[in-house]
Amino acid sequence: MTGDRPLLGILFMLGFCVLIPFGDALAKILGDSVPLIVLVLVRFGAQALLLMPLVWLMGGTLRMGGRTFRLTAFRSVLQIMGISFMFLSLRYLPLADAVAIAFVMPFIMLLLGHVVLGEEVGLRRISACGVGFIGTLMVIQPSFAEVGWVATLPLSVAVIFAVFMLITRQIAKEADPLALQAVGGLVGVPILLVLLLLPIDLPDLTPGWPSGGDAWLLVAMGVLGTVAHLLMTWSLRFAPSATLAPMQYLEIPVATLLGLLFFDELPDGLAAAGIALTVGAGLYIIWRERVTSRAGAA
């Protein structure tokens, strides 16, 4: 373990908030020409190939106990589902809208923590969750009117990754975060290869590799996603999560800027108001967590 170095942790989290929307933007660009299964396979393949050597170079190990490995495997399945739904939603939704809708995850995680783990959730947090969800519905509404049920896919992403984070919380003390991500990639690749080789007549499950510039974009997408999550892991080694959590909302303005630059997309008035409401409710919950933790420490 290392001592806290908040500035370094903040810099790593800034890198994460910039790189993740870039990876999503590349997935959106490739979505019309590359099968979904190939996009996700490259994402997990890059995660395994880049992180395994790093674990060994840092003197770590990929060995896990039976319970930890089973939870890690389930975590990988959830990650496959979450990334797949997110990439699929990007075909139909503006980049900023999809990212903003998925940010209902902190509210869902708070409620699941109360129901599943018995964590205390006060009236103020419940109210903030309701406000954040209303903001999310404001973002969904214009997209739903245009593309239909596909606009709810980021909501599924939020639910899946809320469960993903709860499982991660359960095994965080039993496995090194870097090894956890490396093993997640190792588990995900064979699952995706089996799906790729099954005789299923669906375009998104059909093998196919792009040529020319698209191939390089595909590799860049996998590397960006892996490096981004590595930066997030390192940020948590140098700064407490309470310091870093508010910064994750920087993903939304970065996604808005990339959507404008790459796809000429800009949230309309209702969606923009919903994004502001969601961000405000999320920041309020983070502030309440800080107040509560300080009171507990006192």
Single pTM value for the model:
0.83
pLDDT (mean) for 53-60: 86
Give the tokens for residue 226: 């892996």
Task: Give the pLDDT band (50/70/90) at residue 26.
Answer: very high
Structure confidence by residue, pLDDT tens digits, 109-143: 777 777 776 666 667 777 777 787 788 788 887 77
Comparing C-alpha atoms, which of 181, 171, 154 is closest to residue 83?
154
The residue length of the chain stands at: 298
Least confident piece of the model among 72-76, 159-163, 243-247, 276-280: 243-247
Greater confidence, 208 or 196? 196
| 17 and 251 Cβ atoms separated by less than 8 Å | yes
Give the tokens for residue 197: 């080789």
pLDDT (mean) for 149-168: 86
Greater confidence, 298 or 202? 202
The pLDDT value recorded for residue 85 is: 94
pLDDT (mean) for 86-95: 92
Residues of the chain with pLDDT > 70, as a percent, come to 89
Give the tokens for residue 258: 């990339």
By 3-state DSSP, what share of the chain in percent is helix, strand and coil, each rounded to 5?
80, 0, 20
pLDDT (mean) for 28-38: 90
Q: What is the mean pLDDT of the chain?
A: 83
Q: Is the pLDDT of residue 295 over 70?
A: no
What is the distance between the alpha carbons of residues 243 and 223, in angstroms, rounded to a whole number?
26
Helix (H) or strand (E) holding 229: helix 213-238
Who contacts 171 (Cβ-Cβ below 8 Å, separation ≥6)? 68, 71, 72, 75, 180
| 46 and 219 Cβ atoms separated by less than 8 Å | yes
Least confident piece of the model among 31-40, 172-181, 260-269: 172-181
Q: Is the pLDDT of residue 269 over 70?
A: yes
Q: Is the pLDDT of residue 2 over 60?
A: no
Q: Is the pLDDT of residue 1 over 60?
A: no
Who contacts 191 (Cβ-Cβ below 8 Å, separation ≥6)? 76, 77, 80
For the ranges 7-16, 83-92, 234-243, 245-254, the maximum mean pLDDT occurs at 83-92
DSSP state of 151: G
What is the distance between the alpha carbons of residues 52 and 46, in angstroms, rounded to a whole number?
10
φ and ψ at 11, to 5 degrees? Answer: -65, -40
Give the tokens for residue 240: 């407490």
| 21 and 95 Cβ atoms separated by less than 8 Å | yes
The pLDDT value recorded for residue 290 is: 66
